[in-house]
Amino acid sequence: MFSVLSHSCYNLGLFSCYNLIVYIKVKVFPKSKKDNLLKIKDDYFEVRVKDKAEKNLANKKVMFLLSDFFAVETKKIKIINGHHSPSKLISIDVD
């Protein structure tokens, strides 16, 4: 499905909980005419956002669009690498 997956398991007494972390690569195109998320491969997305790449506005919009696509809260999405670059590595806790 995705190129890099990470599983972590921890015991909470009577039951165990499993976290599934998905890592994807994202290419961001700020100052686009409209917001758009395009899945190129299972682990690669192109995201176009209207926001400028200033004051973290574009990054926040990317995280919002990804949270909608993966149906998770934005707090479960983290930029691992590429905070100041159009090419990013992003982790998503799809628990």
**9-63 pLDDT, tens digit each:** 444 455 555 678 999 999 999 999 999 999 999 999 999 999 999 999 999 999 9
The position carrying tokens 């192109």 is 46
Amino acid residing at 26: V
The domain total for the chain is: 1
CATH no. for residue 80? 3.30.1200.10
**81-95 pLDDT, tens digit each:** 999 999 999 999 987
**Residue 69 scores a pLDDT above 50:** yes
Phi, psi of 67 (to 5 degrees): -65, -35
Domain that holds residue 76: 4-93
CA atoms of 44 and 83, how far apart (whole Å): 17
Long-range contacts for 14-21 (Cβ within 8 Å, ≥24 apart)? 18/95, 19/93, 19/95, 20/93, 20/94, 20/95, 21/91, 21/92, 21/93, 21/94
